[in-house]
A = this chain, B = another copy of it.
């Protein structure tokens, strides 16, 4: 005599959670012979695994009663110190007490959006932007309005114009979400000149900036730029991650928020996961405070530099005219603009036949996924972080054939 269970009448926000093409390609790309230019996984071959294993063993044996127990809601003191060290290495000193540790920086973003956005509120974001952020925004029923980019990143004039337009429509803008360094998916970096301007526009408009910075230490030449957080700590919420500089499988990230948001962040974090894995936090503490993590990062940077160069060379050699692409100076990604009228989904079908995968451009925009007007329909993202240079060259060659059709 059961009636239909109520879980078939989900919350409005449930409709917002859509499959991530990045993760859905995982299975396809695991098939033998496939080359994946899809997922943005770091190359972990540089890690001293035996040493890390010995460290984990020591932590559990000597400090296991703490490392395997519930931990502080703000994060362990050691993990907060480690996050502060990483920020200092990038030229962004903060006090460890300002740091909220989370189970990955994805979760830090989720908490911030949870605390900021009521349904219908607007989040500004680069167009294109990180697909995982779009999932968070949709899940909290926030509407994304994209601000265009060029080779120097987010366009300040367009930002100003967008804010004015939305406000004249009576919309509530809750934040600008931006990835200033080696942006996902374009690989583009917001120029040093534009940073103070973007910060000033948002400060004047009373719009907080969510600065997502997982790739800041991954410049091919090791250089760094001042964070937006350094420029205006009272109006910038900074998100950091150990995933790209240590290991994503540990799931530890952090947020640095203005004072008034710190306690709410802690409470929301406790309500979501109680705390991040204490074992992971302790391992990161030992790795960052007790090893030459920057020397290891140098090796990773050299790998990514070589791989990006291989992709650029192969793109120049194989891609048909009419195709343009970004030239990243760091990070994991290159962004392609196909000839006008191209359909990235059709190219993907052909690419899968040729045993290469990438992420179609439409994944990185809010809006319709298909059809001639869909944003990103003639664009695509290539990741060069995980495959070696020869494989990448072969992948681009296959991609070029798929584009030619």
Contact = CB atoms under 8 A, between A and B. Distances in A.
Nearest to A70: B248
Contacts of A139: 114, 268, 271
> Which of A14, A251, A257 has its CB near the most chain B CB atoms (within 10 A)?
A251
A118 to B, nearest CB: 5
B250 A14 contact: no
Nearest to A205: B3
A50 B61 contact: yes
B206 A23 contact: no
Interface in A249-264: 249-251, 257-258, 260-261, 264
A2 B248 contact: no
A129 to B, nearest CB: 14
Interface stretch (A40-48, A215-223, A375-383): A40-48
A132 B270 CA distance: 8
Contact of A53 (B60, B106, B270): B60
Contact of A249 (B67, B73, B106): B67
B173 A17 contact: no
Contacts of A42: 69
A283 B278 CA distance: 13
A79 interface: no
Contacts of A173: 6
Contacts of A280: 277, 279-280
Given A11-B116, A249-B67, A250-B277, A272 B106 contact: yes
Interface residues of A, number: 100
Nearest to A252: B277
A218 B353 CA distance: 53
Given A7-B208, A11-B114, A250 B279 contact: yes
A253 to B, nearest CB: 9
A267 interface: yes
B73 A23 contact: yes
A247 B5 contact: no
A103 interface: yes
A389 interface: no
Given A57-B53, A272-B110, A116 B10 contact: yes
Interface in A103-118: 103-104, 106-107, 110, 114-118
B65 A206 contact: no
What 4 pairs between A and B have smallest CB-CB spacing? A249-B278, A68-B247, A53-B60, A17-B267
Interface of A: 1-8, 10-14, 17-20, 23, 26, 39, 41-42, 44-45, 47, 49-50, 52-54, 56-61, 64-73, 103-104, 106-107, 110, 114-118, 121, 132, 135-136, 139-140, 172-175, 203-208, 234-235, 237, 243, 247-251, 257-258, 260-261, 264, 267-268, 270-280, 283
Given A17-B267, A20-B267, A68-B248, 20 more contacts: A1-B204, A2-B203, A6-B173, A7-B174, A11-B115, A11-B118, A11-B174, A14-B264, A18-B267, A50-B61, A52-B60, A53-B61, A103-B107, A106-B272, A110-B273, A135-B267, A249-B278, A250-B278, A276-B277, A277-B277
